Structure 1
Amino acid sequence: MSERKFLWGSATASYQCEGAWNVDEKAESMWDKYLHENNLENGDVASDHYHHYKEDIRLMAEGGQNAYRFSISWPRVIKNKEGDINPKGIAFYSDLIDECLKNGIEPYVTCYHWDLPQYWQDEGGWLNKDVAYAFKHYCEVLFKAFNGRVRYWSTFNEPKWFIFSGYMSGNYPPCHVNQVQEVIECCYHVMLANALAIQSFKEMKIEGEIGMVASYQTIYADKDDEAYQQAIRNADNYCNNWQVETACVGAFPSDMVEKLKKQGYDLSFAKAEDLKVIHDHTVDFIGLNYYSPQYVMPYQGGETVVKVNNQGKNYKGNLHTVVKDWFEINDELMKQLPHNPWGMVIYPQGLYDAIKRCSKYHVPMYITENGLGMYEDIHQNGIHDTERIDYIREHVRCLLKAKEDGYDINGYFVWSPFDLYSWKNGCEKRYGLVAVDFENDCKRIPKDSYYWYRDEIKNNWEDLKK
C-alpha cells in the first residue's frame, strides 16, 4: 500500500451488534446455541445493526470518523461444513461495505470475531484441525467477494480471549475449565488458520493488506529482581507473545515452547509442514486491542485459577489469577490503581508502552480497540459520559505521543460506535459513543462522547497530515 493515512474510527463485532440471528438463511452460531440453551441474555436482536447499518454509518461519518472496523459472521456467509455460500449473507456485507465507501468510511474487516458456526463446534471447534482449513475457505470466499472494496483485512480478533475463555476460565462456550492441553491445541490451530488465510490472500493477489488483531495486556511488576522479571516474561508469553510474536515473525516464542515441554504437555500435534506455513506467512500489520495492564508477581503456589467478572459491581467473588509455575496477578497492587466497575485497571501509559514494545516486530500498528464500559441511564436530558471522554482522551494522548516519538502507529478505533451486547455482560455494560435504547426499537441517541470524539478527530487530523 503506498501512502498510509491515519484512521480514526470505531469498532464492533457481528454477534454483538447485528441481531437478525436467524434472518436470511443465517446458520446457527455457537453463541446462538449456548445462550439459548442456558437461557441467558443473548444477541438475538443486540443493537439491530443489521437493520440500522445505514443510520450507524451516517452517524460515524457525521462524527468525523474515516474508518469502521467490523467483523463478518462466518455462519451468515457459509451455510454448512461443505462450505456452501449463502448469497444473502454476502449481499448484506456487500451493501454494508458500499455504504461505508459512499460515506467516506474505510471498511476495516475482521473475518472472525468469535461467532464460530455451530456445525463446526459440533465437530470439536478449534480443537479440530479441519476448522483451520474451513476458515481458509471462508476467508477465500470473502476475499473474492469484496476484493477491491476492502483494503484492510484482519484474520482474527483476540485469539487469546475466545480460546482462554472457552477452555481456561470456562465462562464462554464450550465452557471447559483449566484444560491447558486443549488451550495449547486451540492456539496452534488458530495461528495455523491465520497463516493459511494470509497464504490465500497473497496467492489470490488480493488488493490491500492483511493482519491480525490481538488483545494486548502490558505486563508490569513492582520489583526488578530476577524472579519478577521471569514472571513478567511468563505472563507476556501467556497473554501476548504467542499471538503477536507468532503472527509477526512466524514462530511461537521458543522459551514458551520449552517451558510447555518441560511441564509435560503433548506437543506432538505440531507438524513441520504446519510450522513452515506459519513461518512463511506473516502479517502485514498488527492490531492491538488495549484496555488494561496486568501487574504480576512470581508464582507462589497452588493450582491454576483463572476467573473473570461478568457481573460488574455485583460480582462478589475473588478475581485472583494464578497460572501454576508461571505467574500470579499482584492483587494488592492492582486494587490500589484506578479501575472500572468490572475491575479492569485504567492506565493510559500502558497503551504507549504496548506500542513501544511491539515496535520491535517492525510492522505497522493500529490500536483496534480501546474504550470504557459504563453503567448509564440513557433516559435523561443528555448523556453526559464524562468518564468515557476522560478515558479516551488520555489514551489518545498516549497514542499521539507514540506517533510523535516515531513509532509506526497508524490508527485508533474506539470500542464502540454505539452500545451493543457485551457477551455475557449483556446490554447493561455500555461502551458506545451513541446510546442504543434497547427497549425502544433500538433508537440511537448520541452521547457527549460522540461529539467530543468528532472534535478530537478534527483537532488532530491536520497535525497528522503534516
Structure 2
Amino acid sequence: MKNNVFYYSTSSNAFQMEGARNLHGRTDSIWDWYTKTYFKIPPNNSTEREINSIEVASDFYHKYKSDVKIMKDLGLNAFVYNMDWTRIFPKDENYVNPMGLQFYDNLFNELSKNKIKPIPILFHWDTPMWLEIKGGWTSKEILPAFRNYCSTVFKYLGKYTDVWFVNDENKSFTLDGYLGNIFPPCKNSPSDFVKAIHNLNMSAAIAKEEFLKAKNEGYVSEDSILGIDDDWSPPIVWNNGNDEKQNEDLINNYNAWMRDFWIDPNIKGEYPKVFWDYLKENKLDANILEEELSYLQKFKLDFIGWNFYRPYFITNKNNNVDIKLLHKEPVSYSFGDFVVVLPKEHKNYTKWLWPIYPEYLEVGLKAYKDKYNLPIMIIENGFGDFDDKSNELILDIDRINYLQPILESVNKCRKLDLNLFGYSMWTFCDIFSPSAGYRKDYGLVSVDFNSQIKERKPKLSYCYYKNVIMSNGEDTNFDKERLVKELSNLLINWDILWK
C-alpha cells in the first residue's frame, strides 16, 4: 500500500447483513445454527437481547448493486466487509462453491468500478458448521481448511485490493463463545478457550504465509498488507485508591490481557507472560507445539485494525465496590486482576450502557503507536440506538452527536503522526446485531425489515458523514437545520433503484 490516501469507509459483516443463507450452494455456519436454536424476541423498546433470524437480514446478497450506488453517493472510498467462509467452502475443505466465489467477485468488482476499495476480513465468528462438527477452532483440523480458504480467496479476489485482514474481534468471539456461552459455539470451557485462541492465532500466521505465496504468484500486489482487527477498550481506573504504582500495575495487567494477548502473537510473534502463567496456574493444555511458536515468529502480520466504541472503567478484583454506585454488577473474568464496572457518576452512556468517551480514541491510538508503531486503521466505530422511523425523516441526531467529537478526533490524530490511515464507521445500513438483533440500529441508512424488499432510506447521519467526507475530515461541525434540508432534498431525488 504505497499511496497516501486516507480511507473513509463503512464496515459490515456477512452473517449480519448478507441474507441468502440457503441459496446457491451455501450451507449453515454456527451463527445459522445459533439463531435457529436460541431464537428469542423480547418486548418492543426493551434492551434485552433479541436473537432473530438471519435468513434474510438486510438482503445485501441481492441488493449489493444498489447499495454500492448509495455508498458512492455517500462519498466512500473504501468498504470493509467480513466475508462468509461457508459461502465459498460449503461442505469440506476442498470443494470450492463457484457461485459463492462469484458473489464476492461481483461485489468486489462493483465496488472497484465505483472507486470504492474493498477491504476484506476473512473470518468474523461464523465458523462453517461442517467444520464445527469436527471440533471447530478447538481442533487443529480447522487449520488446513483455513489455509485452503485463504489461498483460494487470494487467488481469485486478490486483484481487487491491497488491504486485507485475517480475523476480527477474536476477543469477543472466544470470551463469549468459548470461555462463555452467549455466542456460538457456546462452549463455556477454559480448556476449549485456550485451544481456540491458539488456533485462531495460527490461522493468522497461515494466512500470512499464503499471502506471501500469493504475492510471489502475482495474485496479490507486492505492496499489499495483511492485518488483524481487535476491539481493545482503553482502561480508565475508577475507585481504586490513590496509590499510583498500584493503579499503574492494574492498567498494565488489564492491557496485557485485554490488548496484548489478542494481537501480540500475530504482531510480535509471541504470547505475553500472563498467558503462560494462566495456563500453568489453571493446569490447562492449549496444545501449543514448539514448532508453532517458531511459525508465529516467522509469519507476523503487517498492521493493526482497531474497533473503538468505548473505554472500560476498571477497578481491582479485590475491591469491595458498593453496587449502589454502579449501573449493574461488575464484570470479571477467570483471568486478570481487574473487573469492569459501569459507574453511575459517568453520565454519558448509550441505551445499552456503553460509556461514551470520545477522548479515548486519541488515547488509544497513542498507546498503539508507543507499543507497536505500525500502520493502524479504525475498522469499527458507531452508535447503536432505537432510531425513530415513524416519520418521513429519520432524524438520528443522537448518532451525529456521538460521531462529531469522534470524527473531530480522527482528523486531529491524522495530523499527529499516529500511523492512522483510515476510519470505517459501523455500519453502512441497519443489520442484525449479535447483541440485540434488529432492534439496535447502527446504520447511516435505514432498512425497513418489515418490507419484502428490505427498503433502504438515508438518515440524517448519512448527510452528516457525507459532508465530513467531502471536506476530507476538516469540517466535522454541523447545523441541524441545514442537514434536515439536505436530507429532505436527498429523499426527493432518492431513486427507486436505490431503495
TM-score past 0.5 threshold? yes
Query: Which residue of 437, 452, 456 maps to 2:464?
Result: 452
Distance 2:335 2:245 in 1: 15
Higher mean C-alpha deviation, range 387-396 or range 442-451:
387-396
Q: How does 1:158-169 map to 2 (within 5 A)?
A: 158-169=169-180
Partner of 1:278: 296
Unaligned residue ranges in structure 2 (runs of 5+): 41-51, 321-325, 476-499
1:164-313 to 2 correspondences below 5 Å: 164-177=175-188, 179-205=189-215, 206-207=220-221, 208-222=224-238, 223-253=242-272, 255-267=273-285, 269-300=287-318
Instruction: Report the Cα distance in structure 2 between the residues aligned to 1:332 and 1:215, rounded to whole angstroms.
Output: 18
**Secondary structure at 1:42's aligned position in 2?**
coil
Q: Would the aligned equivalents of 1:20 and 1:44 in 2 still touch at CA under 8 Å?
A: yes
8 Å CA contact 1:68–1:107 kept in 2: the answer is yes
2:472 match: secondary structure? helix
Letter of the 1:248 counterpart? I
Q: How does 1:286-435 map to 2 (within 5 A)?
A: 286-300=304-318, 318-324=328-334, 326-329=336-339, 331=341, 333=343, 336-359=346-369, 360-435=371-446
* Larger deviation, residues 338-347 vs 233-242: 233-242
Q: What corresponds to 2:106 in structure 1?
A: 95
User: CA 1:26 to 1:324, structure 2 compared with 1: closer, same or farther past 3 Å?
Assistant: closer
* 1:216 Cα offset (Å): 1.6
Q: 2:327–2:342: 8 Å Cα contact kept in structure 1?
A: no
Q: Call closer, same or farther: CA 1:244–1:174 in 2, change over 3 Å.
A: same
Contact 2:327–2:343 (Cα < 8 Å) also in 1: no
Displacement, 1:324?
A: 4.5
1:51 aligns with 2:62: yes
**C-alpha distance in structure 2 between counterparts of 1:406 and 1:355, whole Å:** 10
Q: How does 1:61-76 map to 2 (within 5 A)?
A: 61-76=72-87
Query: Secondary structure in 2 aligned to 1:350?
Result: helix
Q: Is the 8 A contact 1:287 1:367 kept in 2?
A: yes
| Equivalent AA in structure 2 for residue 397 of structure 1 | E
Specify the code of the residue in structure 2 equivalent to 1:399.
V
CA contact (8 A) 2:261 2:275 kept: no
Residue identity matched to 1:249: K
Counterparts in 2 of 1:210 and 1:370: CA distance versus 1, 3 Å: same
CA distances 1:376-426 after superposition (whole Å, capped 9, x unpaired): 121312111111111111111122222211111000000001000112411
Query: How far did residue 337 of structure 1 move?
Result: 3.9
Matches of 2:96 and 2:17 in 1, distance apart? 22
**TM-fit CA distance, 1:238:** 2.3
1:306 alignment partner in structure 2: none
Given residue 213 of structure 1, which amino acid in structure 2 is its aligned partner? D
Query: Counterparts of 1:83 and 1:319 in 2: how far apart (Å)?
Result: 47
Whichever residue aligns with residue 97 of structure 2, its letter is N
Unaligned runs of 5+ in 1: 303-315
Shift of the alpha carbon at 1:39?
A: 3.1
Distance in 1 of aligned mates of 2:29 and 2:345: 37
Task: Give, in whole Å, the separation in 2 of the partners of 1:325 and 1:408.
Answer: 31
TM-score, L = length of structure 2: 0.86
Cα displacement string for residues 116-146 of structure 1 (whole angstroms, at most 9, x for unaligned residues): 1001111111111121221121111100011
Residues in 2 aligned to 1:131 and 1:335: alpha-carbon distance in whole angstroms:
46
1:161-188 per-residue CA deviation (whole Å, 9 max, x = no partner) reads 11111023311112233x2232222111
How far off its partner does 1:280 sit? 1.2
> Are the counterparts in 1 of residues 191 and 286 from structure 2 also a CA contact under 8 Å?
no
The residue identity in structure 2 corresponding to 1:211 is: G
Report the AA paired with residue 212 of structure 2: K
Residue 461 of structure 1 and its aligned partner are, at CA, apart by 5.4
Instruction: Give the letter for the 1:189 counterpart.
Output: N
The offset of 1:93, in angstroms, is 0.4
User: Any idea what SS the aligned residue of 1:460 has?
Assistant: coil
Determine if contact 1:196/1:281 at 8 Å carries over to the other structure.
yes
Alpha-carbon spacing, 1:462–1:35, altered in 2? closer, same or farther (3 Å):
closer
Aligned identity (percent) is 28
Give the total of aligned pairs: 448
Q: CA deviation at 1:212?
A: 1.1
Q: CA deviation at 1:462?
A: 7.6
- 2:171 aligned with 1:152, yes or no? no
Q: CA deviation at 1:347?
A: 0.9
Give the alignment's Cα RMSD to 1 decimal.
2.0
Q: Following the alignment from structure 1 to structure 2, what is the Cα–Cα distance between the partners of residues 461 and 402?
A: 11
Are the equivalent residues in 1 in contact too, given 2:313–2:342 (CA < 8 A)? Answer: no
Q: Partner of 2:455 in structure 1? A: 443
Stretch moving more, 97-106 or 124-133: 124-133
Q: 1:302-357 CA distances to partner (integer Å, 9 max, x unpaired)?
A: 9xxxxxxxxxxxxx994521235623335363652411111111111111111111
Closer, same or farther in 2 for the Cα pair 1:449/1:131, shift >3 Å?
same
Does the 8 Å contact 1:389/1:452 carry over to 2? Answer: yes
225 and 282 in structure 1: CA distance in 2 versus 1, 3 angstrom threshold:
same
Listed one character per residue, the Cα deviations across residues 91-125 of structure 1 (whole Å, up to 9, x for unaligned) are: 00000001101111000001111111001111111
Q: Deviation at 1:262?
A: 4.5
Query: Is residue 428–residue 444 contact of structure 2 (8 Å, CA) maintained in 1?
Result: yes
Question: Matches of 1:330 and 1:88 in 2, distance apart?
Answer: 45
Say which is worse superposed, 43-52 or 129-138, in terms of deviation. 129-138
Residues 298 and 65 from structure 1, CA distance in 2 versus in 1: closer, same or farther, beyond 3 angstroms? same
Secondary structure of 1:395's aligned partner: helix
